[in-house]
Amino acid sequence: MAKTIGQEFVKGLWEEIPPFRLVLGLCPTLAVTKSVENGIGMGLATTFVLVCANILVSLLSGVIPSKIRIACFIIIIATFVTVVELMMQAYAYQLFQNLGIFIPLIVVNCIVLGRSEAFASKNKVVPSFADGLGIGIGFTISLTVISAVRESLGTGKIMGNQLFGSSFEPFSFMVEAPGAFICLGLLLCVMNMVSSK
Amino acid sequence: MPDRKKLTVSYAPFWHDGSSISTKQYHIIAATMLAVIAGLLRYGAPALGVLSLSVGSAMVWEYLMNLATRRPVSIADGNAALIGLLFGMLLPAVTPWWVVIVGTLVAVVIGKQIYGGIGGNPFNPVAVAYAILMISWPIYLDFNAALVNYSFDFPAAYPLVLMNAYGAGGIEAFSLTDFLMGRQTGGIGATFGLGLIVGGIYLMARGFIRWEIAVSFLAGIFVSALCFNLYDPEAFASPGVHLLTGFSLIGAFFLATEDSSSPVNFIPMLIYGALGGVLTVLIRNQGAHVDGVIYAILIINLINPIIDKIRPKATGRVMYHA
Amino acid sequence: MSDKKKRKVAYVIALVCLVVGIVCYAALPDRSQQEPVRVYYESTGENVLFDHQSHSRDFQLGCLDCHHEIAQKENGSHASCVSCHTAESSLVPALGEGGLFDHETHSQYYGLSCTDCHHMYDPESGTSPQNCNACHMETGDDYMPGLADSYHQQCIGCHQDFGVGPTMENCNDCHGPRKRADAFHDQCTGCHEAAKQGPVRDDCMGCHAY
Amino acid sequence: MREMVKMVIVLVVLSSLSGGLLAGLKNKYQERIDNQILTFVKGPAIHSILKDASNDPVADRFSLSINDAEKVFFVGIIDGVPRAVAFEAFGGGYGGDLGVMVAVDVQTDEIINISVTTHNETPGIGSAVETDTDFKNQFAGKKAVGDFKVKNDGGEITAMSGATVTSKAVCSAVQRAGDMYQQVKSQIKDQVKNFTG
């Protein structure tokens, strides 16, 4: 049964929300979610790449020979990633400094390549756009939630605002790498508990 | 020729000897009592506060987790209490209440319950909790900083810190008897060496813990510390000191032997324990951390499933290319 | 024991532990803040554990070698000694178990008189103590002189200076004709006896001739 | 065979389109990105050594070519007179080139102050050069054109303890800065006059 455009969009927000449901794109999820700012920045950058790559891949799907499709996808994705990188350098240099190597690494983010391969190359432009946007926004939401939990517990602040009283001693484990795994696991657990009801 | 006696079993029905999970937990709790009481006598009411809060909150977390996961309430098996007690024994006597409560939360929930409860945890819950707290709030787990208000009749600096900073010379003021009798600073229940040894021997004799792990852990510490000591007696303390300071004894008898995170076969147990001891001394002597026991135990927990593959060969096996 | 009963026992144990824990935490003040026996300094290199006792024992350092610059008379800037060394406890934890604040050392070695610390103007309330007997009881003890002693040592100084109220020259102002003898007997002979000079109690005839 | 040709054509077209797009974007935004780098990387160093300047030295700058290389000079207006220029020079440190921003007073030819911009020195040892103001203050007030050597080499600069190589790198960077200054001194003086408070 073919899904409507709306359904294609909405599925990315819960049903197939990365990285919780599609456990993909874990590298940026774990590495950049130390602060909400980074999380949102990374999410939006990925969304932009996803949407553009999806549109272009679905447009070109008739032209690209199947044997070299992965190479072509990578070229398309890498182009948009470089665009994002340049834009970020030009307009949000500090975010660029914070995210560092993880922006170029969007190229190898499984979500982006995965959507191109699994969805965009087999669908028309409009559903691909909806799919890319949905998954991208879902990814942004996930990163924001994870980073909000980590930043608030790990530093006691969100976007520089003190959350708890001054007597709060930050649980700095949460901003360390192992804290990211535990946070992701617990959120996944909560999500499964909610949806199993 | 395989040993046939090994394969001889009696006819059904089999008898249950009455021992259960809770019996084991309570015996282990009983075995800690000498060390706990020595700690309470030394540090007084604040230590009692830490220990009881730790035990109580661990049981509460277990209960809440049982409710949340809709499983039968399991606090009666004593495992939560034991986790709380062991965790409390590692803490300094003056620990803020919220550190204790967060610690038991991490131990019971993240260390044990999210893996499905008792028997499912890949790591020792107490070691997990202690390591996480050490990363987050090192100052509250620093014995030198926590115990500044206590007046002792022995040097009040944590021996491992002295060893770390000044080498073997740093602990000249102590004798091995001091360490054995608990005349050193440290965790509430981790300093009274004699009590821990007596408790450990009791548990080993009764079979509640596997002697292979505890003995090989201590042997690992002894041998590797001896090597370091022979190489440079100035810089590295003698093996006896390593055995009796820090968390060596409590780690060997009570942490490394935790059931679900330790191997079950003979040779793997020896490797597991010995590796833990060697890592402990390596971290202490070469690493930046003061005590290596907690990290050593976490690392051997990690390799446990791999080394436990070394097992006795089955006597009859399937031949594929017969 | 049935499972249910076991569980009940466990609940009771958990509850008892929690209560004991909370009581221990609530009943004991946070000892780590005030006057520690040792001081823990964090530094970028090695952290330092400073031990008061070994410094005073092994290196013969007095408290004042590090604390209080008495020479500059802290009185003005410092609220008062009592603001730190509270009257409730004369324990000085830095000195170790049972270490007491020692008046004698302070007067003998640091040349402090009682009033250097006591009887100070209180900048908070802007007053000095109004009633002598708020502190000084009828009879004194080791640390607090009795009412009469404290008057003779303390109050009279100012009265002399300003020439107001009872003064030394005029015992009669307070000790009326009858009372003067009592006063003398109670008060003066103490010093005379200690100094072995002048009229003493054992020698009634020295004053009360036939 | 036809398929082969198609594959090659598709890949070539895609790559060249991508390359073209990126080159265009890069050209368009190069200036902006340079500005951002100036603000966030070199900016703090320039501001720290030209504290007394009443203008924004990052905005007021000119470039000169020295030995066929473009060199940017930042002008600081002090007491209403454009008398300070800051520029970067490099010296070989322990972990590669070490960048030093040197501010020179064009009226007296004296060094106003120096600041380290980029370095890869050993953390905790050589990296102290970032914060060791005592070391850096030794350069202040000296003639820009002179000999800068550490005491071991017969100079008069006291090296940072344990970081002789880094100290030497700073000295050689300042030395090069002095040489450059010497070379284009008159041009600098001409240019500086154009900036007014």
Domain parsing of chain A, residue ranges: 5-196
- HSE-up (13 A, CA, CB side) for residue B83: 35
CB contact under 8 A, C23 and B56: no
For B103-158, write each residue's pLDDT tens digit. 999 999 999 998 888 888 999 999 999 999 998 998 889 898 888 878 788 888 88
CA distance A76 to D17: 10
The distance of A150 to chain B (nearest Cα, Å) reads 13
Instruction: Please list the residues that pair with D114 across neighbouring strands.
Output: D102
Which candidate, B129, B124, B137, places its Cα nearest to that of B105? B129
**Is B117 a member of any domain?**
yes
Structure tokens, D178: 């002095």
Q: Which residues of B touch C17 (CB under 8 A)?
A: 52-53, 55-56, 59, 84
* CB atoms B136 and A170 under 8 Å: yes
Q: pLDDT-based confidence at D92, cuts 50/70/90? A: confident
Subunits in contact with chain D (3 or more CB pairs closer than 8 Å): A
Q: Say if the Cβ atoms of C10 and B59 lie within 8 Å.
A: yes
Kindly state whether residue B197 falls inside one of the protein's structural domains. yes
The A residues from 75 to 104 touching D (CB cutoff 8 Å) are 75-76, 78-79, 82-83, 86-87, 89-91, 93-94, 97
Q: Residue range D185-196: average pLDDT? A: 80
Contact A75 D18 (CB under 8 A): yes
Cβ density class C178-202: b for 16+ within 10 Å, e for less: eeeeebeeeeebeebeeeeeebbee
Contact (CB, 8 A) for D73 and D60: no
- pLDDT 10s digits, B15-38: 777 778 888 999 999 999 999 999
Q: Does B115 touch chain A (CB under 8 A)?
A: no
Q: Which of C14, C40, C53 comes nearest B59 by C-beta?
A: C14
Report the domain count for chain B.
Answer: 1
- C-alpha distances in angstroms, B49 versus B95, B120, C19, C24, C64? 9, 30, 9, 5, 36
* Region B63-82 average pLDDT: 90
Does B102 touch chain A if contact means CB atoms closer than 8 Å?
Answer: yes
- ipTM confidence score: 0.71
User: Do D and A touch (≥3 CB pairs < 8 Å)?
Assistant: yes
DSSP secondary structure string for all residues of A126-192: HHHHHHHHHHHHHHHHHHHHHHHHHHHHHHSEETTEE-S-TTPPP-GGGGSHHHHHHHHHHHHHHHH
User: Residue C53: its chain B contacts at CB < 8 A?
Assistant: 151
Average pLDDT over residues B173-189: 90
| Higher pLDDT among residues A71 and C162, named by residue | A71
Distance CA B31, CA B310 (A): 31
Spatial CB neighbours of A75, under 8 Å, sequence gap ≥ 6: D11, D14, D15, D18
To the nearest whole angstrom, how far is the Cα of C4 from the nearest Cα of chain B?
Answer: 9
Between CA B188 and CA B85 the distance in angstroms is 10
CB contact under 8 A, D7 and A67: yes
Q: Give the Cβ contact number of residue A7 at 10 Å.
A: 15
State the Cα–Cα distance between residues B54 and B101, nearest whole angstrom: 7
B319 has a chain A CB within 8 A of its CB: no
Cα(D185)–Cα(D104) distance, integer angstroms? 11
Strand partners, D101: D88, D115
Running DSSP on this structure, what letter comes out for residue B148? T
Given this model, what pLDDT does residue D57 score?
A: 79
Listed in sequence order, the residues at least 6 apart from B194 whose beta carbon sits closer than 8 Å to its beta carbon are B34, B180, B181, B182
The residue ranges of chain A whose pLDDT is under 70 are 1-2
Tell me whether residue B285 is exposed, middle or buried, using C-beta atoms within 10 angstroms of its C-beta: 0 to 12, 13 to 18, 19 or more: buried
Determine the structural domain holding residue B80 and report its residue range. 22-149+161-305
If you measure CA to CA, which chain B residue comes closest to A167?
B98
Q: For the CA atoms of A65, A70, A72, A77, what is the dihedral angle to 10 degrees?
A: 150
Q: Which of residues 77-96 of B touch C (CB under 8 A)?
A: 78, 81, 84, 94
Q: In this structure, is residue B136 part of a structural domain?
A: yes
Of A169, A176, A182, the CB nearest to B137: A169
In this complex, do D29 and A63 lie within 8 Å of one another by their Cβ atoms?
A: no
CA distance B198 to chain A (A): 36
Which of B94-98, C31-35, C179-183, D193-197 has the highest average model confidence (pLDDT)? B94-98
* pLDDT recorded at residue A20: 83
Give contacts of B114 with chain A, Cβ < 8 Å.
185-186, 189
Task: Work out whether strand D81-93 and strand D69-78 pair parallel, antiparallel, or are unpaired.
Answer: antiparallel
- Closest-CA residue of A relative to B110 is A182
Q: Are C36 and B154 in contact (CB under 8 A)?
A: no
pTM: 0.74
Residue C30, pLDDT score: 59
- Under 8 Å CB pairs connecting chains A and B tally to 19
Kindly report which listed range (B212-226, C4-18, D91-105) carries the lowest average pLDDT score.
Answer: D91-105
Q: pLDDT grade, residue C32 (50/70/90)?
A: very low
Flag if D33 and A97 touch (Cβ within 8 Å).
no
φ, ψ dihedrals at D104, nearest 5°: -120, 140
In this structure, the number of other CB atoms found within 10 A of the CB of residue D147 comes to: 14
Using the beta-carbon criterion (under 8 Å), do B136 and A186 form an inter-chain contact? Answer: no
Whether A47 and A139 have beta carbons less than 8 Å apart is answered as yes
Check CB contact under 8 Å for A182 and B102: no
Which two three-digit tokens encode residue B165? Answer: 């900073």
Count Cβ atoms within 10 A of the Cβ of residue B205 and give its class: 0-12 exposed, 13-18 middle, 19 or more buried. Answer: exposed
B63 in contact with C at a CB cutoff of 8 Å? Answer: yes
Q: How would you list the strands of the sheet with D81-93, edge to edge?
A: D61-66, D69-78, D81-93, D96-105, D110-116
Is B256 inside any structural domain? yes
DSSP letter (8 states) at residue D59: T
Is A86's CB within 8 Å of D7's CB?
no
Distance (Å, whole) CA C153 – CA D85:
74
Is it the case that chain C and chain B have 3 or more CB pairs lying under 8 Å apart?
A: yes
Give yes or no for residue D63 having a pLDDT over 50: yes
CA of A178, closest CA in chain D: separation in Å?
A: 24
**Cβ–Cβ under 8 Å, residues A109 and A135:** no
Bigger pLDDT: C101 vs A69: A69
The span from the CA of C27 to the CA of D78, in Å, is: 64
Per-residue model confidence (pLDDT) at position B251? 95
Are B156 and C51 in contact (CB < 8 Å)? yes
Looking at every residue in chain B, the average pLDDT score rounds to 89
Question: Please, which pLDDT band fits residue C75 given cuts at 50, 70 and 90?
Answer: very low
Give the list of residues 6+ apart from residue D83 with CB closer than 8 angstroms, or none.
D76, D77, D105, D106, D107, D192
Which residue did the predictor score with more confidence, C175 or D91?
D91
Q: How close A175 comes to chain D (CA, Å)? A: 22
The pLDDT confidence band at residue C153, using thresholds 50, 70 and 90, is: low
Which pLDDT band holds residue B4 (cuts at 50, 70, 90)?
Answer: low
| Chain-centroid distance, C-alpha D63 | 12
Does residue B75 come out as left (phi exceeding 0), alpha (psi in the -120 to 50 range) or beta? alpha
The DSSP output letter for B20 is -
Q: Is B250 exposed, middle or buried (0-12, 13-18, 19+ CB in 10 A)?
A: buried
Q: Fill in the amino acid letter for C193.
A: E
Query: Mean pLDDT lowest for which of B46-50, C176-180, D127-131, D170-174?
Result: C176-180
CATH of the domain at B285: 1.10.3430
Q: Which residues of C touch B46 (CB under 8 A)?
A: 24, 28, 31
Tokens of D179: 């040489």
- Six token digits for residue B150: 């206590």
Give the best-scoring range by mean pLDDT among B173-177, B268-272, C143-147.
B268-272
Q: Which of A170-174, B249-253, C20-24, D46-50 has the highest mean pLDDT?
A: B249-253
Residue C76: what pLDDT?
41
Q: Residue B91: its pLDDT value, please?
A: 95
Contact with chain A for residue B177, Cβ under 8 A: no
Per-residue pLDDT at B259 exceeds 70: yes
Q: Can you tell me whether residue D192 is helix, strand or coil?
A: helix
Listed residue (D149, D154, D94, D156) closest to D124, CA to CA: D94
**C-alpha distances in angstroms, B18 versus B21, B27, B77, B203, B260?**
10, 14, 14, 17, 21
Chain A residues lying within 8 Å of D14, measured CB to CB: 72, 75-76
Q: What percent of chain D has pLDDT over 90?
A: 10
Structure tokens at C187: 């008060």
Is B210 part of any domain?
yes
Chain B residue with Cα closest to A173: B136
- Inter-residue contact C93 to C37 (CB < 8 Å): yes
Question: Of B263, B255, B243, B268, which is closest to residue B294 (Cα–Cα)?
Answer: B255
Host H or E run for residue D98: strand D96-105
Q: Residue D100: exposed, middle, or buried by beta-carbon count in 10 A (0-12, 13-18, 19+)? A: buried
